[in-house]
Every structure is written in structure tokens, then in C-alpha cells.
Structure 1
Amino acid sequence: MGEVTARWMLATQMMITVVLMVVVPHMAIKEQILKCTGNDPLHIPHEWYQAGELLIAGIASHIHYMFPNIVFDKHPSEEAIPFPFVLTKFYQHVLALVFAINEVNENLKILSNVTLGFHIYDSYSDARMTYRTTLDLLFKSHQIVPNYKCGFHKNLIGVIGGLSADTSACMAHVFGLYKIPQFSYGSFETAASDESRFPSFYRMVPNEALQYQGIVQLLQRFGWKWVGLITTDDEAGERFFRTMEPMLSQNGICSEFTERLKANWQFFDLFEIINVTLSHLPIFMETKATVVVIYGESTTILWLASVILITTVFPVTHHEYSGTISEGKVWITTAQIDFILHVLQKPVNMQMFHGAISFTIHSQQPPGFQEFLQGINPSGAKADGFITDVWDQAFGCHIPNSDSTRDNSESCTGQETLQSLTSPFFEMSMTGHSYSIYNAVYAVAHALYRNYISPFNRKAMAGSIRLAPQHMEPWQLHSLIQRISFNNGAVEEIMFNERGELAGGFDVTNLITFPNNSYIRVKVGRLDPHASPGEVLTIAEDKIKWQRNLTQVPPLSLCNDKCHPGYSKKKEEGKKFCCYDCAQCPDRMFSNQEGRKYCINCPETHYPNKFQDECIPKIPNFLAFEETLAIISISSGLLLSLITGLVLGIFIRQQDTAIIKANNRSLTYILLISLLLCFLCSFLFIGKPKKVTCFLRQTAFGIVFSVSLSTILAKTVSVVLAFMATKPGSQMRKWVGKRLGYSIVLACSNIQAGICALWLVMSPPFPDVDMTSMTEQIVLLCNEGSILMFYCVLGYMGLLAIISFTVAFLARKLPDSFNEAKFITFSMLVFCSVWVSFVPTYLSTRGKSMVAVEIFSILASSAGLLSCIFFPKCYIIVVRPDLNNRQQLMQRKM
């Protein structure tokens, strides 16, 4: 079985070699690639080696080449290696690895009997070069010879790299075959950590899904509903769009644009930069989104910087835009992105990124790291193959006696320090990616510690005998790494989850720039993976410094301006749901905040003001005694009552005169008393409704008014019968007399009393409030209980009035001495006119006006009866007493 496995491994290595020879034809290969000895080894210019009993390899990504197209018109040895472009800020990744290994070696509590060494290469952000350096780390230092170790011996125990998802995946393809633990310090690519494909892959970063939740909660926190999305046109960028778009929609957020940038763009072709810049320029010139979310690698920032640089050199004008393109933009960046520049972008003004909010890999500052960086100098780093190009491009000078990649006018003075560089080119504080590298070294060291030092873990290996360092195999560390938990040099606990990811969260930082083009990142929040889903993000808004050109902080990022209070959103057809018109709130509704989606109803006790942006308490509405209308009603009622009493007094005083005797004195007294009570009934309708007044209002008025109408009917019938009885042989004489009149009054009044009694028993009136009929007032009223019974009472009075009017109208031409039918006819005409107009007026009014209408109808109809029936008689009694005798009355004709 062992021989078969060895053959399979050898065949696999040969296949990789063949593939690399096909895909890497452009490398500066001096002679044949498959020679182990006998020729000069293939030279890779950038590496840093330090010997040790166990070796930790590193593949950084801070040098870029623009490789030429190979056309095979000359020997490969004649192909010149192009000038390297160094992202000097990423040089810290290399230094963090060196610092961590030196710190572990100096700490006798971790590995007192084992010395760690390192061998660091660069991936050049190119897949083919990544394969090349990966195989070199495994086998010969500078030559690819599968399954042979030519030259010095390397006991490789772990690998740290790479920065991007592509680099990490390329490394995993090779290192996974040998089950060498690989720690990616910047990649969030989930496919590379798939245990079924790469079981030896570990990520020194938290799960990327946490970032997605953080982005959504950040946008919600500041009410940003209209945003732009920028990412790379690769698989990772497409996954970002597929994940984010549904999450944004579910939380009421829309993307105005989704811009895809070329992945792994090297930024070295000026014409390509100009063309790409112009193609993407509309996202700056024509979009409303204030907030732009950037996902991808740090090269995205290089692209944005190139946009600034190109538009500075070639000014662009637009009819909707003036000023610099950075005005008003708030950049939100993900943890993969760092704010960097390369040597060609030194003129770029970093002020455009002021106020940016970034999700960053959590980091601490290990003691002694800044002092270590301050001591970095070419004179003390002979083995460092990176420092020459870093110093060349960072300081614009060449190091004497070094193989510089270009001729500079000046030699370095030796006084140059990394501390003098501005933040886009180097940071003295440890960045998130460097902290991941630092933790990866400690993870390997503590796994070794568990194997060599701790007596409780000696049996964790496959055999029972503890192996010597030189016999330690990388695959033996996996069982320890997967369950490891330790404190690093910054005294922070580090552990992995079951997916091989760092079990931690993200920091939220705010970028603050300075006039010298430097910046600092201030921690303003945290993404906590252990928090509930809706509370993943915590942020201190008061610590955030916003873009200086913003007119409002926090800024708005909406498709439309917010609808003012008193308005609500109205969907615009054919546009995204975040775009809307503003519509005035409907009647009786309000909105008291900007940007309300819907108007809402005021509480029943309130109503919206004129601008419909707040609710005002409703005023109670009832006919109070102190109101003008009530005072007029009371005065009118008292005056008419006084007049009625005066008339009654005159009639009692003159009861023996001919005109009073001729019109049935008893019925006249009953009518006057009932009219007096009618006027007094109007007082029940004034004041705040109470249980007693509501109980008596309609019933008392209905009964008293029915007595009045019954009396009028009795008087009319008595007149008619009296004339009929005077005819010779008439049978009507037996009906003439007071008993008939009393019977009519009693019978007709009892019917109304019965209706009212039934009303009070079944559904009596009661005090109530009407919240809806009047917008600005609460109507205090007497609920009639049963509307049917209310209209039965009115209907019965109407029936009595019609009968009285009909009988009086037919008897209107009888002689005046025995006849008051003519006056009753007029009084019934007035009565019917008042109450016929009362019904529609009553139904069309609300509140105190409705009560006033009923009071007016009561007073007007009663006054009509009083004036039409009794004023002519009072005129004869008071003004013309000479006519008040039997002889005069007998002589008068109608």
C-alpha cells in the first residue's frame, strides 16, 4: 500500500509540473526548468530565509509585475524581467511574520527546545507565479524537481498565505496534497476551506457572512436606503451580489448601481487606466447614492485612486455635476480592503476617503512591534530580499551595493525609516492582515508546544513515542490546531471554529485623513458573532468623523428626498421600491416624521392640524349655558314662557267674557299650559348631556307637544260639531260638550305617552360621545337609544298636526263668533312648515348645531301656535273690549 501511495504522489507531482510548464511559459527561465544540478539555479529575486529546526513558510502579495506576452521569437533567457511595482504597505505582512517568529523563539515558555525558521516568497498576485513559488518552497530552493530535495534540508511545518482568494486557492491545490497546514491571512473564500477538498486549510479571518449582516445593519442604522455596490467581476464578486441583493431588498434597501471592476487589474497601462476610468465614471457623475459599498481586494482602492488621479489630470465636466468626484460620497469597505497607494499614485489626494467606514479584521498591537518596525533598515537586513525594492519605491533612492531594479539619481542616506512614510504607503500600527499572520505563527507554535512540551498532549500524535523535531510531520499538527485555544503575544485569546475559521468578529473603523495625505483608523464599533442576529453591530455614532463636504451629518442616501411631515410615500411605477413620490396625507390622518411610508390616524381624542404633521386634542362640543347661542335660546324661551303666562293670566282674568266662553275655556287653559311647558322643555337641551336630561329631553317634549296638538284637535272638532249641532234635526247635539274635548285630549296624549314609555323601557336615551362626525371636536350628545322610537314620536306629532290642519282647513269659513278654525289653520301651517324643514336640517348638522336646530324648532312651532291662535283674541280683549260681547260676536261674519 505504501508503494502505491508513493507512486500516486509522484504521478500527481509530475502532473502539476507539466501543467505549470504549459501555463508558465513567460517566466524568466535562464535554462531548462527541470534540472536539479549542473546549471545555475532559477533566480527568484524576492525571498527572505532564516534557518531553523522547523520552518514556517510565507507567501506574501505585495509585489506586482506586468508580465510581457511571450511570442517565442527569441530565447527565454533574453526576456527581461519588468520593473516591479511594490505595494509598500503590504511589506508589513512580511515583517509581521518575521517579528512573530522571532518573538516565539525568544519566549522560552512556548518552544524552549525548538527553533523556528522562516522562508518567505511573494506570489506577485499571479496564479502561475504562486504555483512556481509554492513548489519551490516544497522542493528545491530555486528549481522544481518533484519528490527530490536538492541542496539544504527544509523541514516545512506550516505555510502562511495568501492574501487573496485566488492566491490561497492556488496554494491549497499544492499544499493540500501534502496535508501541510495552510493559514490564509486575508482570504474569505469559502471554497478553499471546504474540508472535502482542502482539509488542511485554515482561515485567520472570521466568517464572511458576519460582514453581510453588519453591512445591512449599518445601512439601517443611518437610514441609508439608496446605495451603490462595487466589486470585482469574478466569482467572489458575483457571490457578493447574489448574497447582498436579497438581504438589502428584505430590509427595504435598494442598490442604485452594481459596478463590476476587472479582477487582478495591475494598473500599469496608462491607456487602460484611462479607458476603464471613463467607462466607470457615471457612477460618480450621474448617481444619487451618497453611500457606496466596496467589496473585493485592496486593488479596488487602487482603482478608485486612479480615477481621482486621471480626472485630476484630465478634468471632466458634466451638466449635473461640479467640483471633485469625491464630494458627498461615504465609502463602506469590507475587511479584505486596505487603503493603499503605489508609487505611481503619490499625487492622489487621500481626502476623498475621509470619513470612510470600514469593516476590518480585528487587531491588537503586540508589545514591541512598533519598535521592531523602527529598527528596519537595509544595512541590518542582508537576507531580506524585499527591502531593496521597498526602499527604492518608498523613498525614491537606491541602496548602495545592491541589485536595484532601476537607476535612481540618488543613493539612500541610511536615515530613511518606515515611520516617515504616510499611511497609504506604510502603517506603524499592526493592521488586521498583519495581525492574522501574527496569530497564525502563534497557532503553529502552540500546536508544537502541545506536542513537545505538554505532558497531557503527548499521546495526541499517531504513535506513543514523542518524535524529535527533525522527524515532525506537518499532517500531525491538524488534530491539535483544530481544537487549539491560546493567548498570543498581545494577551488575546485565539481559537478556531469547526470550519477552520478564526472564531472572532470584526472591528468597525472610521478613516480620518490629514493634510499631509496620511490617515488614522479609529475604532468606532464592533461586529460580534455571538450577538443575536439583529444586534450584531454595535457602533458609537458620536465618534464618527464624516466627509467634510457633506451638508448634513449623518448624510442621507435616498432615491428621493425624504417626504416632509404631513406627507407619505407613494410608489412610482416602473422604478425600484425605494423611489417614490410624496403625497399629502388623507383627511383625518397625519405623519409627524420625515420619510414616513404611511400616514396614520390620530387617536380618537385628537385630530390633525392644518399641516397634518401633528395631532391636536379635540375640543368637547356641546351647547354650554355660557355660549351665545345658548343664551339666545334661553332668553327666547323665557320670553315666550313669560308671554304665554301673560296670555294665560289675561284669559283667566277675562274668563267670563264672550270671546273666551265661545272658544271652550278649559281646552284653552290646557293649550296655554302645554305651550308654556313646551317653551320650558327647550332648557333640557342646553348644557352638558347628563343621564337625567337625556332621559327627559325627547320624551317630555314629545308628550307635552302631543298634549298641545291634541288640544288643538279637540278645539277644532268642537267647533265643527257645534256648527253641525245648530242645524235642525241634527244628531250631533249629543256629542257637543266638554266631555268630547277632554276625551280627545286624553286619548291622543295617552298614545304618545305609551310610545315614550315603550321607548324608555326598550332602549332609553343616554349620554354618549361622537368621535368621528366632527374632525376637530368631540361631540357630547344624548344618544337616542332607538332611532326608530325617536322618529315614531316625531311621526305621531306630525300625524296629529296633519289631522288638526285638515279639520281646521275644512272648517275655516264658519262664522267667526263660533269659529277659531281659521287661526288654527294658520298655526298648523306654521307648525308643519317648521317641522318639515326640521328633519333635513337636523340630519345634516352635528354637535351643538343639531341641538340648536331642535331648540329653534320647538320654540318656533310653539310660538307659531301661540301667536296664530291667541294673539287675535288678546287683541280684542285688550285693545277692542267693545267687541268682546255676545251681540257683537253674533253679528260678525267671517
Structure 2
Amino acid sequence: MFSRKMNFKKYPSQELFEEYIYFRASWTYLASMQLLSRKSKSIPNYKCGFQYNPTVVIGGPNSNICLYMATILCTYKIPQLMYGSAPLRNIETQGVFFYKMFPSGSHQYRGILQLLLHFRWTWIGVIYLNDDNGEMFVHNMLPMFSRSDICFEFIQKLPELTFSNDAEWMIREGIEICKVITRSTATALLVHGEIQSMVILRMFISFSEFEGIQKKTKVWIMTAQMDFTSLPFQRSWDINFIHGMLSFAVHSKEVFGFQKFLRMKTPVSERGDGFVRTFWECAFHCFFPSSSSDKETLEFCTGKEKLETLPRSVFEMNMTSHSYSIYNSVYAVAYALHAMYSSSIKYRTLVDRRRGMLLNQKPWQLHPFLGTVSFNNSAGQLVSFDKNRELVAGFDIINWITSPNKSFFRIKIGRTDPHAPPDKMITLSENTIVWPGQFNQAQPISTCNDNCYPGYRKTKKEGKPFCCYDCLPCPEGKISDKTDMNDCVRCPEDHYPSQDQDLCIPKSIIFLSYEEPLGISLAILALVLSFTAAFVLGIFIKHQDTPIVKNNNQNLTYILLTSLLLSFLCVFLFIGQPGRVICLLRQTTFGFIFAVALASVLAKTIVVVLAFMSTRPGSRMRKWVGKQLASSIVLCCSFIQAVICSTWLTTFPPFPDSDLQSVAEKIVLQCNEGSPAMFYSVLGFLGFLAAVSFIVAFLARKLPENFNEAKFITFSMLIFCTVWLSFVPTYLSTKGKYMVAVEIFSILGSSAGLLGCIFSPKCYVILLKPELNHKKLLIRRKNLKVYAFAPN
């Protein structure tokens, strides 16, 4: 609510109305009718005496001026060139007479959109003039901004002054707009207006200071329809708010000789031009004397004042975009008239008749020539119209810089290209941009909240526009590598997220190799155990004629020791980078060798039991005790395992594979078993042999002392079964190269258990107690003949 104590007398409201009223387009009616009437009197449709015959009318920059012109001039089919924004009009009745020295408005709005997106200003305020063009901009163009993720904190319309008693109401509305701007968090403000909008905006900002409204630095973005305009009483007002402002302007170039032309314009040189004298008085604060009394009280204009001494807020020596459009309009008419007259001359031969016809040319006859005009102006720019009779040109992007003397400079920092793709239609020289002083030359940020940086994703705030959001960390396994991503994405399978979840890092390739401590340790352990097995085998071969070797089934002992030696060596198939051949041999070789070893143990155990039973008087088991039984057991068990392995290799053979999922940051090179069922069938058969051997050995553990090898087999099978029973859950719960290490530990542990438990007592006797390795010491007195339980 407004304070009832507001004193509107301190505002120049009456002076405001008197100055602002001349911007009202209805005054154009009078000027339009005067073009169609006598010089001294305005009587529509009646001419006598000296007559004006207007061929073309150039109007602007206010769109309503062009609209009011059209109401009268279109009746006479007079071509009209507009150098401001295009008014809303009836295409069929009025549009055919318009030629716009202003590029397509949609092109400008797309350029503004790209500018906002370029600087990532997604949270903006919009101020627009309360007219038809402003309403069209809000209803048609702003939705296009929203579709490109631009949000609006506020959309305010500038009040339109209609009568003098509306001045105080207009000031109230303006102060409210300033309060909205001050409270807003948006840094970028887009202003869509007309030539007079700058006057209104300056007034609102200045008047708000009287109400103690604190200024807040903003980056203003002005449309090309606007320009710097000042009323006389605004001359001393501060213009610092436009410092760092960005605006669009119809593309223009400096015209050679323009400043020289301006310097020639003086009240002395233009005595018949009352406009120059009026401008001179306003610009230099002086008066031309109209009577002798004036000389005593007022400062007179000498006519020798220099225009270049005026600050730019009063007068610009450089050609503005609007002036450049007027310049091109005049030349476009000249070229069109030349084309029309040249065409008329071809069909007329009599000079007098031709002159008469040329003087009586009708305005509508110029349309075909004006619509197709195309020429290069003195600045070297091509001037032409498109099929919609709009100027084919782009826009300049202007950076405004103010100086302490209340002057300003326009710096071109970029431009738009009407023929470029939408995402490349603007080019900017960011290094030359001067931002408002509060930002310390850092690019301003205009967002609803802080950006969601890489590693985070956006999530909507309830009840807020879509530009307002919270930031949540990416879930595990996903990353966001850009600012303000709507969702996090998963890395490719051969990459993993960084710790900050802002980039994907290539996974390193791992396998159990000889270059790492674990691989070296296992290889050395396998070699040591292999040499141990070979050493034991050598001992037994060397002492093959001793009773302790003969009496323990010599052939089975050699087979068992050889299979244990090979089982230790097969560990080297599990270390190193997996290849096709290695994967085919790894599990099948291990499975077959272990089957032979376990079959040998089983055969030794069965032979021990049968040998004990055959020593009883009248036993029929003696015929089963011999080499044939042991060999049959080994061959039968080995054949079954060979069939399983062969079936595995022919149906679903193992192959080299890479595991991308088990270890987060690694690619594990491994051998894929091909068929888990066949893999566990091989292990299952080994478990079956081990279980049978353990049960038989356990039942034979209490045989007489001569048959105590069953005790050693029992202990060895207990270790074997314990190792492999613990292998299964450990193997299934381990990932990566450690799965291979677990299997190697199981192979080495179970093989070492067999080697140690079965052969260490015998080696102890052979090497350290040779005196016990005699037949007479192996025979008990009550069983003098039982030493032959294990015939060779």
C-alpha cells in the first residue's frame, strides 16, 4: 500500500505530462492530414493553391506512430517505410503498404534467447510497455523462452500515460515496479518497450530514490525498439544504472562524412529550419533573442556552440541505429524512384509528354519498385527486403558504458546472423564486455539458486518454477559431468565413477600375475611343494627294495606321488593372463590329475582292507588282492573323470572372459567356466572319491600296527575334505583375481595334506630310522606271516 503522506508535488508530474504528451501517437493524425492538405490549412480531401504530392512517408520509431499513419495514408495507397518496430495491423488492408526498415522481430527475440542461454541467465525479470506489441511479446514470445528453460521471477508492465491527471498514478505504479525490481533475486532484467520507454524507466528509478528505495545493481537487456531518450528536465539525472547494460540494435555501420555534416548544422546555416533553433536552445540552455529586453535578463545563443562538446546523454555525434535506418530509407526511396522513372522513360518518346507523366506519377505505382529494391549504401552494406517486406539484416549487440560526466559510450560486442543455425546465431566478444561495477568484471549470475555442480543432480522444489531446484548427490555408481544435469548417468562398463562422482575413470585390467606379491608367493610355494613331491618320489625309487616301500603297494605309491607332483605344477595354469588354451586346460587338467590321485588313495585304502581280510584262515578275499584290483580302481575312476572333462570341453568349453562388474574399479581377466554345472560336476566327483576314501580309511584306522597306513590316509582325507568343503563358500564369496587365489590355495593345501600325512612317516623311517626298515622288525610275533598283506 502507498503511504498517504506521499507528496507528489516534489515530482515534476505536470512537466512530465507536458513533455511526454508529445510521444503520444495520436498527434500523428494531424501530421498525416497535413501531408494531404494545403501548407497553411489542414482540410482533408481538399487542396487548392500550392499542393504537396507525397510519394512515400517514412515514419517511426514508435510503432503506434506507424499505426496511426496507416489509418490515413493507406486510404491513398501511399508507401510507408517504418524504421521502428512493426505495429500490429490488418495484413490485407494495411500490410501491403508497409516496408519495414527493421528486421524480423522473431529474429531479435531468438537472439535475446540465445544471449540469455549463452550467459546461463535462466532466472530473469521482464518489464514491457503496455501496448499491443508488448502484449504480443508476452503472450507469444515468452512461452518460447520457457520452452528453453528460462523462468521469470516477475513480469511487469510499464504504465501508459493517457491524461495529465494520470501522472501521479503513473508515478505510483512506477515506484511499485521499482520495489519489485529491488526485492527480486534475478540479476538480468529484460525490458521490451518503445523509444519513450527509456524516459519512463529513468523517471521511475529516479523517483524511487525519493521514497528511500535502495538501488540494486541489475544487468538490463534492452530490445532494439528502445534507445536512449531524454526529456529536458532529465538532463541532470544520473544515468549510472545503464552502465554495463546490454541492448540490441539494428545492424549499422559508420557513414563517412556524417559527423562533418552535423558540424555544418547551425542555427545560422539553417535559418529557415525552426527545429534546429528549438533543439539548439534545449541542448545548450540558451535562447535566441526575440526582443531587446531579452538581452538584459537571459543568456543568448551565439550559434557558434559546438555540438561535439555536448555529453552523449544530450546529443550523440555518431549515427545511431535509428538514424542509420532513416538514412537507408531515404536511399531506398531514391533507388525505387530511379527504377520507376527509368522504366517509364523506355515507353515514352516525347520529352514534354514524358515530363508531364513523370510529374503525375501516383504513389501506388512505386510499390513494385520499392519492394524489389536492392543496393549497397555508402557504408558498403547491402539493403534489401525479404518476401514479407522486412529488412534483411541482423542485430548488433551493444554494451553501454557510462562516464562521470553523465555521458555514455556504445560498444559493439557482437551481432546476430539471421542465416545461422539457432544455436550459433549470435557471436560475442566476451573479453570486451564491461559489466556493472558491483560485479568486479565477473560475469553476473542470474539463476533462481546456485547451480548443481558435477556430481549432483537437480530435483524439483515443490511450489516453485522449474528453474528453482535443490541439488542431490548422484547415487552410487552414477555420475554427472556437467552443471545442472537433470539426472545422473551410469558410466560405461569399462569405466567407474570418480570419488566426487563427476567423471568416469577407465578401469584398470587385473589378473593374478607373476608380477605381484600374491602371484609370486603362490608360484614359489607351488615350486617348493613340487620339489618336495619329486624328492619324496626319488626317495621311494631309491629305496624301492626296502620293506616299507614294497609293503605299501609300490605302484600305487608311484602313481600317487606323480599325480601330486603334477597337481602342484598345474598351479602355474592358474597364474598369468588367461588365454584360450590355458582356459581349456586349467580346470580339466586339475580335475583329472586330482581324480588320479584320489583314485590311488582309494585303491590303497581298499587294498589295505582286503589284505587284512585275506589273512584270516579260510578267507576267499585272497584272490582279490593284487595289482589288477588296484589298477582297475585307478583306471575306472580316472576314466569317469576323463569322460566328464571331455563332455565339458565338447559342449560348453571354458573361454577367456572379462568381469566388469565384480570389482568396482577393475576389469578382471578370468576364465569363464562355460558351464557351471560341468565345473561343479568335476568337483563333485572329486568330492565323491574323497568321501569314499575317507570313510573306508576311517573304518580301517584300528587295524593292527602293520596296517596303520589307514590312519595316515584318514588324516590326509580329513584335511582334503576340510580344505575343499571350505573352498566352496569361500570361492563363491570372493571376487576378482582372489577367486583364482582361493582355488590355488585349495589345490596346494589339499595336495600338501596328502603328501604330508601319507608319506612323511615313511620318509621319516627311510631317512632317519633306517634300522627300522627291516622285514624282521615289521613282523609281530603272533602274526609272523601277515607282512605279506600287500603283495607287489
Q: Secondary structure at the match of 2:60?
A: coil
> Which residue of structure 2 aligns with residue 720 of structure 1?
609
> Which residue of structure 1 aligns with residue 55 of structure 2?
157
Measured against aligned partners, the alpha-carbon deviations of 1:416-453 in whole angstroms (never above 9, x if no partner) come to 34322222222112212122222222233333323334
Identical-residue share of aligned pairs (%): 49
Going from structure 1 to structure 2, the CA distance change for 1:155 and 1:235 (only over 3 Å counts) comes to closer
Going from structure 1 to structure 2, the CA distance change for 1:642 and 1:482 (only over 3 Å counts) comes to closer
Paired residue for 1:731, among 620, 624, 629? 620
Task: State how far apart, in whole Å, the 1-side matches of 2:544 and 2:358 are.
Answer: 142
Q: Secondary structure at the match of 1:293?
A: strand
Residue 371 of structure 1 and its aligned partner are, at CA, apart by 2.2
Residue 588 of structure 1 and its aligned partner are, at CA, apart by 4.1
1:325 aligns with 2:216: yes
Q: Give, as a single letter, the amino acid of the residue that structure 2 aligns with 1:184.
A: M
Q: Secondary structure at the match of 2:451?
A: coil
Paired residue for 1:289, among 186, 190, 194? 186
1:298 aligns with 2:195: yes
> Which residue of structure 1 aligns with residue 512 of structure 2?
623
Residue 143 of structure 1 and its aligned partner are, at CA, apart by 4.7
> Which residue of structure 2 aligns with residue 873 of structure 1?
762
Greater Cα offset, 635-644 or 491-500: 491-500
RMSD between aligned residues: 3.3
> Which residue of structure 2 aligns with residue 48 of structure 1?
none
> Which residue of structure 1 aligns with residue 664 of structure 2?
775
Residue 263 of structure 1 and its aligned partner are, at CA, apart by 3.6
Task: State how far apart, in whole Å, the 1-side matches of 2:729 and 2:291 are.
Answer: 109
Residue 804 of structure 1 and its aligned partner are, at CA, apart by 1.6
Going from structure 1 to structure 2, the CA distance change for 1:223 and 1:404 (only over 3 Å counts) comes to farther
Task: State how far apart, in whole Å, the 1-side matches of 2:161 and 2:167 are.
Answer: 16
1:745 aligns with 2:745: no
Going from structure 1 to structure 2, the CA distance change for 1:246 and 1:408 (only over 3 Å counts) comes to farther
> Which residue of structure 2 aligns with residue 506 of structure 1?
395
Task: State how far apart, in whole Å, the 1-side matches of 2:56 and 2:293 are.
Answer: 31
1:245 aligns with 2:142: yes
> Which residue of structure 1 aligns with residue 730 of structure 2?
841
Going from structure 1 to structure 2, the CA distance change for 1:496 and 1:834 (only over 3 Å counts) comes to same
User: Do the aligned partners of 1:388 and 1:404 also contact (CA within 8 Å) in 2?
Assistant: no
User: Do the aligned partners of 1:827 and 1:869 also contact (CA within 8 Å) in 2?
Assistant: yes
> Which residue of structure 1 aligns with residue 151 of structure 2?
254
Residue 206 of structure 1 and its aligned partner are, at CA, apart by 1.5
Q: Give, as a single letter, the amino acid of the residue that structure 1 aligns with 2:428.
A: I
1:278 aligns with 2:278: no
Residue 176 of structure 1 and its aligned partner are, at CA, apart by 0.8
Q: Give, as a single letter, the amino acid of the residue that structure 1 aligns with 2:327.
A: Y
Residue 860 of structure 1 and its aligned partner are, at CA, apart by 0.7
Q: Give, as a single letter, the amino acid of the residue that structure 1 aligns with 2:155.
A: T
Measured against aligned partners, the alpha-carbon deviations of 1:588-618 in whole angstroms (never above 9, x if no partner) come to 4444444444444445544333233344443
> Which residue of structure 2 aligns with residue 22 of structure 1?
none
Measured against aligned partners, the alpha-carbon deviations of 1:380-432 in whole angstroms (never above 9, x if no partner) come to 44443434543343333333218999x99543343434322222222112212
Residue 521 of structure 1 and its aligned partner are, at CA, apart by 1.8
Q: How do 1:191-270 and structure 2 match up within 5 A?
A: 191=89, 194-263=91-160
Task: State how far apart, in whole Å, the 2-side matches of 1:206 and 1:582 are.
Answer: 42
> Which residue of structure 2 aligns with residue 53 of structure 1?
none
Q: How do 1:39-50 and structure 2 match up within 5 A?
A: none
Going from structure 1 to structure 2, the CA distance change for 1:402 and 1:671 (only over 3 Å counts) comes to farther
Going from structure 1 to structure 2, the CA distance change for 1:552 and 1:146 (only over 3 Å counts) comes to closer
Task: State how far apart, in whole Å, the 2-side matches of 1:751 and 1:456 are.
Answer: 115
> Which residue of structure 1 aligns with residue 425 of structure 2?
536
Measured against aligned partners, the alpha-carbon deviations of 1:164-214 in whole angstroms (never above 9, x if no partner) come to 12221111011111112222221322426x243343222221211111221
> Which residue of structure 1 aligns with residue 65 of structure 2?
167
Q: Secondary structure at the match of 1:340?
A: coil
Q: Secondary structure at the match of 2:439?
A: coil
Task: State how far apart, in whole Å, the 1-side matches of 2:163 and 2:306 are.
Answer: 27
Q: Give, as a single letter, the amino acid of the residue that structure 2 aligns with 1:724.
A: M
Going from structure 1 to structure 2, the CA distance change for 1:125 and 1:311 (only over 3 Å counts) comes to closer
Going from structure 1 to structure 2, the CA distance change for 1:873 and 1:408 (only over 3 Å counts) comes to farther
Greater Cα offset, 262-271 or 505-514: 262-271
Residue 844 of structure 1 and its aligned partner are, at CA, apart by 2.2
Q: Give, as a single letter, the amino acid of the residue that structure 1 aligns with 2:366.
A: L
> Which residue of structure 2 aligns with residue 85 of structure 1?
19
Q: Secondary structure at the match of 1:341?
A: coil
Q: Secondary structure at the match of 2:303?
A: coil
Task: State how far apart, in whole Å, the 1-side matches of 2:782 and 2:224 are.
Answer: 117
User: Do the aligned partners of 2:79 and 2:99 also contact (CA within 8 Å) in 1?
Assistant: yes
User: Do the aligned partners of 2:179 and 2:213 also contact (CA within 8 Å) in 1?
Assistant: no
Q: Give, as a single letter, the amino acid of the residue that structure 2 aligns with 1:197.
A: Q
Task: State how far apart, in whole Å, the 1-side matches of 2:547 and 2:451 are.
Answer: 87
Paired residue for 1:395, among 239, 262, 284? 284
Measured against aligned partners, the alpha-carbon deviations of 1:850-879 in whole angstroms (never above 9, x if no partner) come to 221111111111111122222233344445
Measured against aligned partners, the alpha-carbon deviations of 1:542-598 in whole angstroms (never above 9, x if no partner) come to 333333332564433323323333333334344333333333334444444444444
Gaps of 5+ in 2: 1-11, 784-792
Q: How do 1:85-164 and structure 2 match up within 5 A?
A: 85=19, 124-141=22-39, 143-149=41-47, 152-164=50-62
> Which residue of structure 2 aligns with residue 114 of structure 1?
none
> Which residue of structure 1 aligns with residue 254 of structure 2?
365
> Which residue of structure 2 aligns with residue 49 of structure 1?
none
Going from structure 1 to structure 2, the CA distance change for 1:710 and 1:312 (only over 3 Å counts) comes to same
Q: Secondary structure at the match of 1:822?
A: helix
> Which residue of structure 1 aligns with residue 414 of structure 2?
525
User: Do the aligned partners of 2:38 and 2:52 also contact (CA within 8 Å) in 1?
Assistant: no
1:349 aligns with 2:238: yes
Going from structure 1 to structure 2, the CA distance change for 1:528 and 1:401 (only over 3 Å counts) comes to same
Number of residue-to-residue matches in the alignment = 767
Task: State how far apart, in whole Å, the 1-side matches of 2:17 and 2:761 are.
Answer: 127
Q: Secondary structure at the match of 1:358?
A: strand
Task: State how far apart, in whole Å, the 1-side matches of 2:88 and 2:174 are.
Answer: 31
User: Do the aligned partners of 1:359 and 1:506 also contact (CA within 8 Å) in 2?
Assistant: yes
User: Do the aligned partners of 1:706 and 1:749 also contact (CA within 8 Å) in 2?
Assistant: yes
Going from structure 1 to structure 2, the CA distance change for 1:649 and 1:438 (only over 3 Å counts) comes to closer
Task: State how far apart, in whole Å, the 2-side matches of 1:169 and 1:496 are.
Answer: 20
Residue 795 of structure 1 and its aligned partner are, at CA, apart by 1.6
Q: How do 1:488-507 and structure 2 match up within 5 A?
A: 488-490=377-379, 492-507=381-396
Task: State how far apart, in whole Å, the 2-side matches of 1:890 and 1:250 are.
Answer: 104
Q: Secondary structure at the match of 1:838?
A: helix
Paired residue for 1:419, among 301, 308, 323? 308
TM-score, with length taken from structure 2 = 0.88
1:695 aligns with 2:584: yes
TM-score, with length taken from structure 1 = 0.79
Greater Cα offset, 260-269 or 862-871: 260-269
Going from structure 1 to structure 2, the CA distance change for 1:568 and 1:401 (only over 3 Å counts) comes to same
Gaps of 5+ in 1: 1-65, 69-80, 87-122, 318-323
User: Do the aligned partners of 1:816 and 1:889 also contact (CA within 8 Å) in 2?
Assistant: no
Q: Give, as a single letter, the amino acid of the residue that structure 1 aligns with 2:81.
A: F
User: Do the aligned partners of 2:60 and 2:66 also contact (CA within 8 Å) in 1?
Assistant: yes
Task: State how far apart, in whole Å, the 1-side matches of 2:346 and 2:436 are.
Answer: 54
Task: State how far apart, in whole Å, the 2-side matches of 1:547 and 1:166 are.
Answer: 33
> Which residue of structure 2 aligns with residue 116 of structure 1?
none
Residue 334 of structure 1 and its aligned partner are, at CA, apart by 1.4
Q: Give, as a single letter, the amino acid of the residue that structure 2 aligns with 1:276.
A: E
Task: State how far apart, in whole Å, the 2-side matches of 1:781 and 1:816 are.
Answer: 49
Q: Give, as a single letter, the amino acid of the residue that structure 2 aligns with 1:306.
A: M
Residue 713 of structure 1 and its aligned partner are, at CA, apart by 1.1
Going from structure 1 to structure 2, the CA distance change for 1:271 and 1:816 (only over 3 Å counts) comes to farther
User: Do the aligned partners of 1:667 and 1:741 also contact (CA within 8 Å) in 2?
Assistant: yes
Q: Secondary structure at the match of 2:449?
A: coil
Residue 455 of structure 1 and its aligned partner are, at CA, apart by 5.5
1:557 aligns with 2:454: no
Residue 515 of structure 1 and its aligned partner are, at CA, apart by 2.5
Residue 82 of structure 1 and its aligned partner are, at CA, apart by 9.4
Q: Give, as a single letter, the amino acid of the residue that structure 2 aligns with 1:223.
A: R
Going from structure 1 to structure 2, the CA distance change for 1:689 and 1:402 (only over 3 Å counts) comes to farther
Q: Give, as a single letter, the amino acid of the residue that structure 1 aligns with 2:202.
A: A
Task: State how far apart, in whole Å, the 1-side matches of 2:779 and 2:40 are.
Answer: 150
Task: State how far apart, in whole Å, the 2-side matches of 1:404 and 1:607 are.
Answer: 92
1:178 aligns with 2:79: no
Residue 681 of structure 1 and its aligned partner are, at CA, apart by 1.4
